[in-house]
Amino acid sequence: FVLFFFFKVDREQSKGGDETGLNGILLSCVNTTTFEVVKQITSSVGPWGTWTPIQWCPGGFLSTFCLCVEPKQGNEDDTAADNIIFGCTVPHIVMGNGLERGLYGAWSDTCTEGINGINIRLEKPKGIGDDTSVNDVLFNCA
């Protein structure tokens, strides 16, 4: 089950003033008895940004999430997915270390056994023009 997570976030407008928000997610699954990391799951990863410090659910595992997405900004800089809040199997909420440019959607259904996988929609670099990176996220239940 997933206990630890990291985000790759572009918050510096590294591409000529183009900020891309979430660029990747890394999940660490642990043995429920020893709490040793047994598997790391990495989403597809965009080219911009840096990895955030480790975050985790104290005393539990990731079980639900709420995605922060910036709506289209017209002629302004778009970022798409910016941050994620996770709910834990014990009553605790963990705010990700992403950006706060968007709006949080509804909470996902709860994975009673915890989260154990990830699927994302990632925009490929355009070269010229406004890039985003992670556009949508779906976590798999154990």
> What was the pLDDT predicted at 52?
96
SS (H, E, C) the chain: CEEEEEEEEECCCCECCECCEEEEEEEEEECCCCCCEEEEEECCCCCCCEECCCEECCCCCEEEEEEEECCCCCCCCCCCEEEEEEEECCCCEEECCCCCCCEECCCCCCCCCCEEEEEEEECCCCCCCCCCCEEEEEEEEC
65: confidence class by pLDDT, cuts 50, 70, 90: very high
Check whether 75 has a pLDDT greater than 80: no
**pLDDT of the residue at 15:** 56
Percent of the chain with pLDDT over 90: 48
pLDDT band at 16 (very low <50, low <70, confident <90, very high): low
Query: What domains are defined for the chain?
Result: 2-141 (2.100.10.20)
Q: What's residue 9's pLDDT?
A: 93
The reported pLDDT for the residue numbered 31 is 84
Question: What confidence tier does 27 reach under pLDDT thresholds 50, 70, 90?
Answer: very high
Nearest in space to 79 (alpha carbons), one of 10, 126, 6, 8 = 10
- Taking alpha carbons only, the member of 139, 135, 142 closest to residue 27 is 139
Report which of residues 47 and 74 the model is more confident about: 47
